Amino acid sequence: MVGTMKRISEKKGLAILRELKDTLAAEVHEGYEHRAKSCDVCETPGACCLDEHFVNVHISPLEGEAIIGVLEGLPEDRKVKVLRRVDAVIEKYGLEDGEDTFDKTYACPLFEKGTGCLVHGKAKPVPCIVHACYERKEDLPPASLTAEREIEVDELNRRVYGRRDAWLPLPVMLKRRAKI
């Protein structure tokens, strides 16, 4: 028998999500990133984020809300440009709602050349926090680290929204959460 779950507000859920991700970022930084090449010295900044054959980040509704919150803080013209990129990515890579998208890849619409990730340090998805340029496979953080945190994020979503919702490709979730 499953016990009754105590629901929490979206605002509280977003605060807990931020703490969870800050803790993960610190854990990755302390335990693994010293073995990776720093983004600050990358010859091709953003190549990993813009690699349409590599990126396949799915996010939860709460993560979508966190990202939309960051985008809402941008000047209106810049926010509109980002949301247009979101639409363009969905169209270009066929990331339609309801399709099996786990085998589809895309270029991330949140990366801007010259600026970097628009949500870095504020609402970056779990796989993006864990990712870095590791020279050797054995230096990578274990896949279980990502899986464990995504389970925690999924449980947090359930506490906020009272159900488990599908995780969608980042652009699709952003379009849904931004109501565009």
Summarize pLDDT for 74-91 with one digit per residue, the tens.
999 999 999 999 999 999
Q: Which of 43-47, 143-147, 150-154 has the lowest mean pLDDT?
A: 43-47
Question: What confidence tens digit (pLDDT) does each residue in 63-75 have?
Answer: 999 999 999 999 9
| Nearest partner of 112 among 46, 169, 172, judged by Cα | 46
pLDDT at 1 over 50: no
Q: Which residue has the tokens 């979730």?
A: 173
Evaluate if residue 97 carries a pLDDT over 80.
no
Asked whether 159 and 6 are in contact (CB, 8 A), the reply is yes
Do 131 and 37 meet the contact criterion of CB atoms below 8 Å apart? no
Q: Give the pLDDT score at 180.
A: 61
Max Cα-Cα span within the chain: 55
| Spatial contact of 89 and 178, defined as CB atoms under 8 Å apart | no
Q: Give the pLDDT confidence score for residue 110 in this predicted structure.
A: 97
Tell which wins on pLDDT, 88 or 2. 88
Predicted pLDDT at 4: 66
> For the chain, what is the mean pLDDT?
91
Question: pLDDT by residue (tens digit) across 113-128?
Answer: 888 899 999 999 999 9
Give 179 or 102, the one with higher predicted confidence: 102
